[in-house]
Amino acid sequence: MALPETGATTVPAASSTKVPRRRGFSVFGIRVLIYQIVLLVGFLALWEYAIRAEWLPVYLYGQPSGIWRELVKGVESGALLRDTWITAQETVIGFIIGSVAGSIAGLALWLSPTTAAVLRPLMVALNGLPKIALAPLIVVWFGVGMESKVAIAAIITFIVAMLTSFAGSQEVDTDYIKMMKSLGASRLQTFRMVVVPATIPWIASAFRLNIGFAMIGAVVGEYISAEAGLGHHVYYSGTLYNLNAVWGGIFALMLLALFLDAIVGLVERRLKWQ
């Protein structure tokens, strides 16, 4: 089972890539949509046929009709919804704690260059570390319940938010700082009136990255040790070679990820000034 790899976090530039917005339906847009539907339906039909014709074993690949049955069963029994709810809570709580605390910590380092200099080697090390590697430790410390998943998500997102907001605060044009100084501004005034607002776009970018990291953290935590949640569902079904249930869980994770990303995307857009 391939785990999503977080790898080293590269600090994002303070700009978002602009995706052209679809306005109404152009002829081009409709054509693209038709191709997409044909491709998806074709792929599912081929997959289904390959299983039914016994080209591929169902216990290794699953089967679209079987996945659908699993999804319906999961929704009707409430088990899938319960797992989704648990993973969503772990992700969101961890994300909020980690992102907010991390952003504040990164910004605060601007106020104390000495602390920042002392912590620099640690930050370089954390930046290079695939942060998900910390997960087993955190499970050992926080146990098998939801707390450990929240903690994994919080710690990963804390590191990302801190590094990003610190990097952003260091990128503030020194001429602004000089100008504030010449106006007679205290360091705290400069911080409040220039550094914090100038770093907000970086923080917004970190939030966008972090919702993904928080979910990876929660799910990997569930893989390692849990009694509920979508990660637990996927992992447990995998050990039973119930590939349909695995795919059902992955599908639910995908929907949850899209939903959370859309919400954070809205927040991100509001936080970014032009």
Partner 1 sequence: MQEDRATVLAAENVKMTFNADTPEEVTAISSISFKLGQGEILGIVGPSGCGKTTLFNIIAGLLPPTAGMILVNGKRVQEASGHVGYMLQKDLLLPWRSVIDNVTLGLQVRGVPAKESKEIADNLIKAYGLKGFEHTYPAALSGGMRQRVAFMRTLAFSPDVILLDEPFSALDSQTRLLLQADVIRIIRERNCSVVLVTHDVGEAITMCDRIVVITSRPGRVKSVHTIGIDPSLRHPLKIRKQPRFNELYDTIWDELGIQFAA
Residues at the contact surface with partner 1, assessed by CB under 8 A:
173, 175-176, 178-185, 189, 193-194, 197-198, 200, 273-274
Distance set, CA 237 to CA 32, 251, 257 (Å): 36, 14, 20
Q: What is the CA radius of gyration of the chain?
A: 23
* Nearest-angstrom CA–CA distance, 142 and 225: 11
Minimum distance of partner 1 from residue 102's CB (angstroms): 22
Minimum distance of partner 1 from residue 177's CB (angstroms): 10
| CB closer to partner 1 out of 101 and 200 | 200
Half-sphere exposure of 117 (CA within 13 A, CB side): 3
The one-letter amino acid at 167 = A
Minimum distance of partner 1 from residue 173's CB (angstroms): 8
Minimum distance of partner 1 from residue 72's CB (angstroms): 50
Minimum distance of partner 1 from residue 186's CB (angstroms): 8
| CB closer to partner 1 out of 10 and 274 | 274
Polymer length of the chain: 274
| CB closer to partner 1 out of 173 and 227 | 173
Minimum distance of partner 1 from residue 180's CB (angstroms): 7
User: Is the separation of the CB atoms in 139 and 148 below 8 Å?
Assistant: yes
Query: Tokens 């710690």 identify what position?
Result: 155
* Nearest-angstrom CA–CA distance, 163 and 106: 6
| CB closer to partner 1 out of 3 and 183 | 183
Distance set, CA 14 to CA 148, 167, 169 (Å): 32, 11, 11
- Classify 183 as helix, strand or coil: coil
User: Among the residues of 143-185, which ranges form H helices?
Assistant: 146-170, 174-182
Residue 15 is given by DSSP the state: S
Residue 11 is given by DSSP the state: P
| CB closer to partner 1 out of 152 and 172 | 172
| CB closer to partner 1 out of 25 and 273 | 273
| CB closer to partner 1 out of 17 and 174 | 174
Minimum distance of partner 1 from residue 188's CB (angstroms): 11
Minimum distance of partner 1 from residue 200's CB (angstroms): 8
Residue 241 is given by DSSP the state: T
DSSP assignment of 40-90 = HHHHHHHHHHHHHTTSS-HHHH--HHHHHHHHHHHHHHSHHHHHHHHHHHH
| CB closer to partner 1 out of 29 and 197 | 197
